[in-house]
Amino acid sequence: MKNPTKEQTSRLTVTAAQAGARLDKWLSDHISDISRSRIQSLLAAGHIHQGGRTINDASYRVKPGEEFLITIPPAVEAVPQPEAIPLSVVHEDSELIVIDKPAGLVVHPGAGNWHGTLVHALLAHCGDSLSGIGGVRRPGIVHRLDKQTSGLLVAAKTDRAHASLAAQFAAHTVERSYLALAWGAPHPAHGRIVTQIGRSAANRQKMAVRPSGGRGAITNYEILRRFGDPLNPVISLLRCRLETGRTHQIRVHMAHLGHAILGDPVYGGGRSRAKGLPEEAQEAISGLGRQALHAASLGFQHPLNHQFLRFDSELPDDMARLLEILERI
């Protein structure tokens, strides 16, 4: 849609070669700016007409010579209000925006975090360039990072980008890798963790590896550095690549292996091991105030030109400083 703040109308005529196609599919093929699900919602809301009559049936089969009038109302304002929160923008174009999120910033409004989130910040930053996701002028959040996880995150600015990115995440074709500092060192030095993750039966506020009843979760890891005794490292630097994106996935998987992420307030067992470290290292670990987990790289296909984009983010200052200290032990 060229101007998301004004009502748009389109007239489309069915050719002989197109006869018999489902109406929602035919319309989505010919209106590139909005998704098929958005077309279906327009049908349900009575915004599509043919020959003076309203068509609500998405499965209606189009006939040669039929002309359809499509009215696309302006995107309504999002419920969250824009807030001028500084953002580190890595890439931005008409379809999407890539942010390097700092630790401490919540991605989406929710209980206890109704203000000051990334969504509020994006509403202010993007303004009218948001053409609307599902008819609402808001950023399309297709994946999230935990509040205290830093790093790269992509958000859609259009329906088309939202549908494309969501499909790529669902198909596991998005490349995502994280850097993490963990207690000890997993054995073997690189591996693939395949489990189911669901709510913990003992604590519903936590996620856990479950024998059944969870959702499939796959994390690939490799050790990049070991710190301390080479035969019995105190801490290791890991690269973790996600094939799926379950809640707290890396944190849960590493804790499941017995190598929880440093500073993790929920799954971070093994803190007593810090007592054997130099005082400077102990202070740096306790001063993190969060899990030492950073979304370091992100790669996906651009929804418009299909070019593969890849972005990298350096370690934030808190993790970089801790790494420098660990290199001296």
pLDDT digits (tens, 9 = 90+) for 10-24: 899 999 999 999 999
The angle formed by the CA atoms of residues 142, 147 and 153, to the nearest 5 degrees, is 35
Catalogue the long-range contacts made by 224-231 (C-beta closer than 8 Å, 24 or more residues apart). 224/179, 225/327, 226/185, 227/326, 227/327, 227/329, 228/277, 228/329
Q: Residue 209: is its pLDDT beyond 70?
A: yes
Residues noted as catalytic: 146
pTM attached to this predicted model: 0.78
The residue-averaged pLDDT of 95-111 equals 93
Kindly state the helix (H) or strand (E) to which residue 227 belongs, with its residue range: strand 215-229
Nearest Cα neighbor of 148 from 15, 275, 319, 327 is: 319
Separation of alpha carbons 57 and 305, rounded Å: 32
Q: Residue 1: is its pLDDT beyond 60?
A: no
Quote the pLDDT of residue 143: 94
pLDDT tens by residue, 129-182: 887 777 777 899 999 999 999 999 999 999 999 999 999 999 999 999 999 999
Quote the pLDDT of residue 80: 85
